[in-house]
Amino acid sequence: GENVEQHPSTLSVQEGDSAVIKCTYSDSASNYFPWYKQELGKGPQLIIDIRSNVGEKKDQRIAVTLNKTAKHFSLHITETQPEDSAVYFCAASISGGSYIPTFGRGTSLIVHP
């Protein structure tokens, strides 16, 4: 089955800095890579996703890049703000397969004011 590795487990930055979280996956058939944000006491919520036919996608301060050859993808947050503090999960799944994503172990992002 699919295996998703996520690093780092904890990331501490100053407000205004950039943050990068990296994930690798094992199954070359995976073609959908979402990122979820989990705030304290809540369920994860999708913030951005990318499909295998795209190398990069941006949404305001958030961007995701995908390297299918190397089987890794990354989340980039620019101009971080305290409200970005949360746990971030990457995931990989196969559109056309079971659709059930395999998640990384999560990154706790702390943005210091």
Partner 1 sequence: NAGVTQTPKFQVLKTGQSMTLQCAQDMNHEYMSWYRQDPGMGLRLIHYSVGAGITDQGEVPNGYNVSRSTTEDFPLRLLSAAPSQTSVYFCASSIGGMNTEAFFGQGTRLTVV
Decide if 77 contacts 85 (C-beta within 8 A).
no
Measured from the CB of residue 100, what is the shortest distance to partner 1 in angstroms?
5
Out of 8, 9, 17, 59, the residue judged to bind partner 1 by CB under 8 A? 9
Give me the residues paired with residue 107 across strands.
88
Measure the N-to-C terminal CA separation of the chain; round to a whole number of Å: 41
Measured from the CB of residue 20, what is the shortest distance to partner 1 in angstroms?
19
- Comparison of 49 and 78: residue with beta carbon closer to partner 1: 49
Segment interacting with partner 1, rule: CB under 8 A, options 21-29, 30-38, 61-69, 78-86:
30-38
Residue numbers 36-95 binding partner 1 by CB under 8 A: 36, 41-46, 49, 89, 91, 93, 95
The Cα 86–Cα 82 span in angstroms is 9
The Cα 90–Cα 85 span in angstroms is 16
25 binds partner 1 (CB under 8 A): no
The Cα 98–Cα 101 span in angstroms is 8
In this structure, the strands spanning 86-92 and 62-67 are unpaired
- Comparison of 70 and 100: residue with beta carbon closer to partner 1: 100
Site residues, partner 1 (CB under 8 A): 1, 6, 9, 32, 34, 36, 41-46, 49, 89, 91, 93, 95, 98-106
